[in-house]
Structure 1
Amino acid sequence: MSADPVREPAPGFDAARVLALANETFEIEAAAVQGLKARTGEAFVRAVQAMLAVRGRVVVMGMGKSGHIGRKVAATLASTGTPAMFVHPAEASHGDLGMIKAIDLVLAISNGGESDEITAILPVLKRQGVLLVAMTGNAQSTLARHADIVLDSGVAREACPLQLAPTASTTAQLALGDALAVALLDARGFRAEDFARSHPGGALGRKLLTHLSDVMRTGDAVPRVAPDTPFPDLMREMSAKGLGASAIVDEQGRVQGIFTDGDLRRLIERGVDLRAMRARDVMHAGPRVIRNDALAAEAASLMEQHRITSVLVVDAQDRLVGAVNSNDLMRAKVI
C-alpha cells in the first residue's frame, strides 16, 4: 500500500511557512480590497450611470485570469438585473465582434491594460461608437487612454511571492465588479423576487417563488372540527386527514384553536380522562397561523422559529382556508 502523502509530508516541508504564507496572502488581498475605497469616486458613479442607461448589454472582456474574473462579473450582472454577457477578446478578433453593437457598453478588464488581444480591438470598438469602461491597474495604459471611463483596480503588490501570478489584482477586480453589480441592482430597485425569476431551477428560486397556495392542503383535506365536537370524533378527524393536527373553528370558519399529536401525548402523560372531553376542552387556543398569500418559505421559518411541525393557513378575515406541515414543504423542496 502506498504511503499517505498527507500523513508523510515531503522532506523539507515547513508547516509554519505554509501557514505564514496563507496569512500573508489574506492580509495582502484584504488590503487590496480596502485600497479600492479611496479610489472609488466619480468614475465609479459615471460607470454605474452608463450601465443603467445602456440600451443594449454590458459586454465584459478580459484575458487570462482577468477573463475568468470577467466571466464571473458578467454572470453576476446578468443575475441581478443588468443584461450582460462575456466575449473573449481573442475570439472577438475572429468574428465575435459581431456580437457587439453600438447600443452596448464594453467593460474591459486588464490589470496591466496592455493585453494584445484587447488593444487590438479597441480601434474597432471606438469606430462603432461603443462606450468603453476600463477596469485596470494602470491609468497610463493603452486601454485606459482609449476608455471613456476608467475604474482604478490597482494594487500595491500581488500576494504571489514571485510577484508574477495575478492574485491580489484579481481579488480587487472581483470586488470592484461585485460593487458595480450591487450598486446597479439597488438603483434598479431589484428585489428578491426578481432574483428568483432568473434562478427558477434552484433551491433559492423555489424558496422565493413558491407560495403557500401552491403547496398547502385545502378543502376536505384540512382537518377541522367545531368547538363542541366530542373527543373521539376529534381523533377520528385527525386520523382520517393525516396532518397530525386538527383545527377547531367556529361557525364562520374562524380559527379558535388547534389540537396536535403532541397535545395528545402530553394529556396522556398527565393521566387526563379524555372520554368526556370536547374539542374546546383540549385545544390550544390562539395557535400560530399564517396568511394564504405568504411564501411557503415563511411558513417554514415560522415552524422552525416556534418548533412546530404544522401551521394553519387563514385568509384576510382569519377564516381557515388551508394547512401545511413540514412534510408538505419537504415534498415541494422548500426545506
Structure 2
Amino acid sequence: MTSPTSSFNPERALSMAREALDIEAQAVQALGQRLGDGFVLAVTTVLGSQGRVVVMGMGKSGHVGRKIAATLASTGTPAMFVHPAEASHGDLGMVTPGDVVLAISNSGESEELTVLLPLIKRMGVPLLAMTGKPGSSLGRHADVVLDSGVDREACPHNLAPTASTTAQLALGDALAMALLDARGFRPNDFARSHPGGALGRKLLTHVRDVMRSGDAVPRVPLSATLMDLMREISAKGLGAGAVVDEAGVPVGIFTDGDLRRLIEKGVDLRSAMAREVMHANPRTVRDEALAASAAELMEQHRINSVLVVDAAGKLCGALNSHDLMRAKVI
C-alpha cells in the first residue's frame, strides 16, 4: 500500500467525489419512481397504530434507523430505536401491542433481525420492512415492504454502504413528511418538540416573556414637560419613553433619536412639552403576540423600540431590539 500523500491526486479526488454524489442522487431519484401502494399502506399502517414506531437496524442501517426514529419523533409520530442485538436479550419487551416495527436492512438477511421476525409476527405487531431486497427473509415476513434498493453503491468497489444508506435515509424522511402532513403537524407543534432550538424560541416566546414591565417602563402623562420625559428615559434606559393619557393608553412615543433631532433644530428643550414633541399614534404590539412578531414589526418600520399594550389597549410594557437579542429571538 503506497503512502496516501505520495499518491494523492487532487483532480481524481474531485472526480471521485462528484461521481459519488451523482450515484447517490440517482439512487434517491429512483426511489420516487418506485413509490406506490406499498408506501401508502405504510403511512396508513402507522396512522392507524395507537403506539410508537419501533425502528430496528444493524450496522450502518442501524445508524440510519436512529436518525429516522428521531425525525419521526420530532415531527409528530412517536418513535424509538431498539437495537436488534439487544432486543434478543430483553429489549424486545419494549415493543408493545399497538406499536409498529420498522425494520431496516439493505440485504434483508441481517441475522440479528431475522431471528426476531417470528417473534414480532407472533406478537401481532405490524412489520414494515425497508430493504433493498424485497424477496429477502425480511421482505417475505413483512406486512409492508418499502423498496430501498440501489443499482450500485457509491463505493468504487461497490462494497461500503453509501448509496444504499442514503436511499434509506431519504425514504425515512419521505415517510416522516407524509405522516407529518397527514397528521396536520404545524410549525407550532414542531416548536413544542424543539423548545431549546432557535425555531422553538421564535414560536414559543411571547412578547410578555421578554418585555420590560411595571416600573421598568418609561412613561409620563400628557401634562409632562420634555425635561420630565427625558429624565424618565434616562432613568429607565430603554432609549425611548411613552406618553400616556389618563386611562393609561399610549398616545405618543419619544426616542433618543428624536432628542438629537430637536437639538439640531435648536428647539428650547426646557420649555417644550412632551405632547408637543412626541410621535403621536405610536406603533404598539399586544403582550400576547409572539416576540418574533414584535421583531418583524420593528424591522419593517425601522424602529428600535416598541410599546406593548394589553387587551384594553393600555400600556403594560415595552421592549427594544436588545431585549429580543438577549432572548435569542433575533
- TM-score, structure 2 length as denominator? 0.92
SS in 2 for 1:11: helix
Matched, 1:63 2:58: yes
Q: Distance in 2 between matches of 1:332 and 1:35?
A: 45
Matched, 1:206 2:206: no
1:163 Cα deviation after fit = 0.9
1:135 Cα deviation after fit = 0.8
SS in 2 for 1:243: coil
1:51 Cα deviation after fit = 0.9
Q: Distance in 1 between matches of 2:327 and 2:309?
A: 20
Give aligned-pair identity as a percent.
Answer: 72
1:305 Cα deviation after fit = 4.0
Q: Which residue does 1:195 correspond to in 2?
A: 190
- Amino acid corresponding to residue 299 of structure 1 in structure 2: A
Aligned with 1:34 (options 29, 37, 49): 29
Q: Distance in 2 between matches of 1:224 and 1:328?
A: 18
Q: 5+ residue gaps in structure 1?
A: 1-8
Q: Distance in 2 between matches of 1:56 and 1:122?
A: 19
Given the superposition, is the C-alpha separation of residues 16 and 193 from structure 1 closer, same or farther in structure 2, using an over 3 Å criterion? same
Given the superposition, is the C-alpha separation of residues 281 and 24 from structure 1 closer, same or farther in structure 2, using an over 3 Å criterion? farther
Q: Distance in 2 between matches of 1:41 and 1:282?
A: 68
Q: Which residue does 1:254 correspond to in 2?
A: 249
Q: Which residue does 2:20 correspond to in 1?
A: 25
Once the two structures are overlaid, the 10-residue window that deviates more, 82-91 or 177-186, is: 177-186
Q: Which residue does 1:84 correspond to in 2?
A: 79
1:204 Cα deviation after fit = 3.5
SS in 2 for 1:246: strand
Given the superposition, is the C-alpha separation of residues 270 and 155 from structure 1 closer, same or farther in structure 2, using an over 3 Å criterion? farther
Given the superposition, is the C-alpha separation of residues 285 and 30 from structure 1 closer, same or farther in structure 2, using an over 3 Å criterion? farther
Given the superposition, is the C-alpha separation of residues 321 and 116 from structure 1 closer, same or farther in structure 2, using an over 3 Å criterion? same
Q: Which residue does 1:224 correspond to in 2?
A: 219
Given the superposition, is the C-alpha separation of residues 213 and 12 from structure 1 closer, same or farther in structure 2, using an over 3 Å criterion? same
Count of residue pairs brought into register by the alignment: 327
- Amino acid corresponding to residue 285 of structure 2 in structure 1: I
Matched, 1:240 2:235: yes
Q: Distance in 2 between matches of 1:26 and 1:270?
A: 64
SS in 2 for 1:204: helix
Q: Distance in 2 between matches of 1:227 and 1:31?
A: 70
Q: 5+ residue gaps in structure 2?
A: none
1:330 Cα deviation after fit = 3.6
Q: Which residue does 1:150 correspond to in 2?
A: 145
- Amino acid corresponding to residue 107 of structure 1 in structure 2: L
Q: Distance in 2 between matches of 1:41 and 1:270?
A: 73
CA offsets 1:35-66 (integer angstroms, 9 cap, x no match): 12111222111111111111121100111111
Q: Which residue does 1:166 correspond to in 2?
A: 161
1:32 Cα deviation after fit = 1.6
Given the superposition, is the C-alpha separation of residues 13 and 306 from structure 1 closer, same or farther in structure 2, using an over 3 Å criterion? farther
- Amino acid corresponding to residue 262 of structure 2 in structure 1: L
- Amino acid corresponding to residue 185 of structure 1 in structure 2: L
CA offsets 1:188-241 (integer angstroms, 9 cap, x no match): 222323223223344433332222112212233211223442111110111122
Q: Distance in 2 between matches of 1:326 and 1:129?
A: 57
Q: Distance in 1 between matches of 2:174 and 2:21?
A: 20
Q: Which residue does 1:311 correspond to in 2?
A: 306
Matched, 1:293 2:294: no
Aligned alpha-carbon RMSD (Å): 1.9
1:81 Cα deviation after fit = 1.6
